[in-house]
Every structure is written in C-alpha cells, then in structure tokens.
Structure 1
Amino acid sequence: MKWIYLAAGLLFFFKIILLPNPTSQQSFPIVELIVQDTGVINAVSGVIFRNRLYDTVFEVVVFTIAIMGVRYLLANEPLSTKIDQFSDPPSRLLAQLGATIAAIVGIELAIRGHLSPGGGFAAGVAGGTAIGLIAMTSSPEAMQSIYHRWHAETWEKVTVLIFIVLSVLTLSGIELPQGQLGAPLSGGIIPILNILVAIKVALGAWAAVLSFIRYRGLL
C-alpha cells in the first residue's frame, strides 16, 4: 500500500508541475471589477465591507460575543492581589513609545484603510495593542477609571448597533455616492464602516485587557 500511495503522490506532483493549468490561459480582472464596483482602491476593503458585508456583520457579532464571554468567565474569579508591571525607566519609555506609534498607525489604518493596505480590523488591533502597552506601565485602577469615565462599554455597544444598521441599509441597496476613486471620501459607506469597526475592536480589546489584568494580572 505504501508503494501505491507513493506512486499516486508522484503522479499528482508531476501533474501539477508539467500539465498546464486550464484557467491560466484566461484573464479575469477580478480586482479591477471589485475596485470599479466598490469605488475604493483597496480591493480587500471593498470585499470585506461590500461584497462580503453579510459575513463581516457576523464577524463583528462574534467578536462582541467573545468579549462578553471573557467578562462572564472571569467574573467569578478572585481579583489578582499582585500585578507586576514594567518598573524600570527604559521599559516604561519603550512601552509608551510603542503605544504612541501603534495608536497613530491605528488612526491611519482606520481613516485611510480604503485607500491603502489596512482597514477597520487592523486598525482596531493596533489600537488594542496601544492600550495593552499603556496598561503595562499604568495603574490598573487608573485604566479602569478612564474606561468608566469615558463610558467605553456604552460606546462599544453603540458602535456595534450603528454598524449593523448601516450594514442592513447597505445590503438593502441604500448606498452613499462613491465619489472620486482614490479620494479620501471615496467608497460611499465603506470608510464609515472601517472607522466603526476600528472603534469597536479597539474598545473591545480594551475591555478584554482590563478584565485579564484585573483577574489574572499581566500575562
């Protein structure tokens, strides 16, 4: 049986290497069609926030459920009595500098994600990274106080609701003008959805980071 498997594997290998791909002779300008259809230069953002918007809505919902799950699973655990943080000046400086760079990159990805590589999810991850780095050098009580003072939990829920409403309107055929291709305001509703996803992911990451630090310390 081993020889049969080996022969089949060799035949399949030579088939891939030697025989031409029947679809390689044809040209499908899929990227160009997506750009024209969505009105954004970044075809990935066009696919995520228009061609696959139905899937993206549920990805946002799944992320929201994951954050709720973190809070639920850690709610009954004892609070961490000791939280080790960066105490030496070089580490604190590097963490704060990295947080500043990550925050700037996150803002750039959220605003211009439809014009260059990036987008709402990448921007939210960059924002969450910035918050995590700040949490390594700041008091957990201070981070928790800022989170509640700015009503971050409420804004997270509001952002999700606005995203779902705008997505439903878009899926129903109600769209904004696409504008000029390559302009900052091009792409209709896509730049707005990008920013909403970035805010939601960043705030959700903030909530998860606070929960883990509060109950488990710095991991």
Structure 2
Amino acid sequence: MKWLYGIAAIAFCLKILFIPHPPANLSDIAIVESIVQDSGVPNAVSGIIFRNRLYDTIFEVVVFTIAIIGASFLLANEKPARMIYQFSDQPSIVLARLGATIAALVSIELAIRGHLSPGGGFAAGVAGGTAIGLIAITSNPEWMQGIYRHWHVATWEKVSVLIFIVLSVITLAGFELPQGQLGTLLSGGVIPILNLLVAIKVALGSWGVILAFIRYRGLF
C-alpha cells in the first residue's frame, strides 16, 4: 500500500503545480466590502474572526484555556524556586514599568476600539499580558500573587470564557444585536463584546501563567 500512497502524493503535487485553479468571478463584488457590510465593523479582520469564522474562534479560545490549565498542572508537582532574582537596578525598573504603562494603554485601546481599527481581542490580550509580565519582573512575587488571589483573577478568567462561549453560540444560532452605525464605537452588534471578552481572557490567563513560571522556575 505504501507505493499507492506515494503515487497519490506525487499526483497531488503534480496537480498543484501544473493544473491551474480557475479564478473566482469577483467582478461584481468586493470581498472586503461585503465583509464590512455584513459584520458592521470597519475592521474586516475582526468581522471574519468574530462572525464569519466564529466557530473556529470559539475553539481557539478553548485551546488557549487548556494550555493555561496544562501549564499550571505540569508545574504543580515542582518545588517552588528558593531564590527568585529580579531586576534591582533603578533604570531597568523605570523602563520596565514605563513599558508596562504603554502596553496597558495599548491593550485598553485595542480591546475597546479593535473593531474599528487594526487590532483586536487577541492583540489586546497579548499587550495586557506583556504589561503584567513587565510589572511581575520588577515587583515582589508575593505581592503579585496576593493581588491575583484577592481579586479572584482565575475565576474571572473562566467566567469570561463561559460568557464568550454562550454569546458565540447565541450568535451562531442566528440571534444578533443591532449593528448600529458603521464606524461608531457602539457598532458591530456583538463583535465589540466578544472582542473585549477575548482581551480579558488572554490578559488574565497570561497573568496566571507568568506567576506560575516565576514561582516554580524564577526569571529566565
């Protein structure tokens, strides 16, 4: 059977190389414009992620959640690091916290206006996680852990995932919020809400992973 698989693979490669794919007839419609009209947001990428391929986005969020749980599970059996070395020189601390402030502001901007301009929930969450990481490498680990537990950050992360899944299922079932006026902050129906939930989930999940690695592995 191996030779049969080999012939099939060669035939498939020849098909890709020598048989042209018929171009789609797009003379009467612009894809980007149609996505913007259907989703009600100027950022066509957000329209695709949170509407056209929302089913895929649900599982991307679930996979990220499983990755966070897996990291915490794998590190749970290790002994906490005896000594955690952190930045102690004042210039590094000032630069790290300045960078954290800028990253946090970018995260808020992308989370709130990601459906209007380049960016989105995942980018906002990464920026938020970067801000938290920069604070973590210049602050007391116990203080960061205390804040994490006091505000029940792990619980809020899971709540954001559940709300995202529920809203996504409702949207996929055909129930949508009014799109509003294109280009305004309150437009795009449920897309801005999903955008914000993804940003919260990614940022808070990154916070948990950062604390876990610092506690058990220290700073790399």
Q: Percent identity?
A: 74
Q: CA deviation at 1:172?
A: 0.4
Deviation per residue, 1:144-185 (Å, 9 max, x gap): 000001110110011000000000000000100000000000
* Aligned equivalents of 2:120, 2:150: Cα separation in 1: 28
Matches within 5 A, 1:70-89: 70-89=71-90
Is the partner of 2:187 in helix, strand or coil?
coil
Q: Which residue of 1 aligns with 2:186?
A: 185
* Aligned equivalents of 1:99, 1:147: Cα separation in 2: 17
TM norm structure 2: 0.89
Q: Which residue of 2 aligns with 1:110?
A: 111
Deviation per residue, 1:97-116 (Å, 9 max, x gap): 00000000000000000000
Where has structure 1 moved over 6 Å in runs of 4 or more?
A: none
Q: CA deviation at 1:84?
A: 1.0
Q: Which residue of 2 aligns with 1:3?
A: none
Q: Which residue of 2 aligns with 1:210?
A: 211
Matches within 5 A, 1:160-171: 160-171=161-172
Q: Aligned pair count?
A: 204
Q: Which residue of 2 aligns with 1:23?
A: 23
Q: CA deviation at 1:30?
A: 0.5
Deviation per residue, 1:64-85 (Å, 9 max, x gap): 0000000000000010011111
Comparing 22-31 with 61-70, greater Cα deviation is found at: 22-31
Q: Which residue of 1 aligns with 2:135?
A: 134
Q: CA deviation at 1:23?
A: 2.9
* Aligned equivalents of 2:155, 2:218: Cα separation in 1: 25
Q: Which residue of 1 aligns with 2:122?
A: 121
Q: Which residue of 2 aligns with 1:143?
A: 144
Structure 1: gaps spanning 5 or more residues: 1-11
Q: CA deviation at 1:25?
A: 8.0
Structure 2: gaps spanning 5 or more residues: 1-16
Q: CA deviation at 1:121?
A: 0.3
* Aligned equivalents of 1:66, 1:79: Cα separation in 2: 21
TM norm structure 1: 0.89
Q: Which residue of 2 aligns with 1:200?
A: 201
* Aligned equivalents of 2:132, 2:32: Cα separation in 1: 35
1:34 is matched by which residue type in structure 2? I
Q: 1:24 to 1:161 in 2, by over 3 A?
A: closer
Deviation per residue, 1:5-34 (Å, 9 max, x gap): xxxxxxx7xx8xxx9x96388545110000
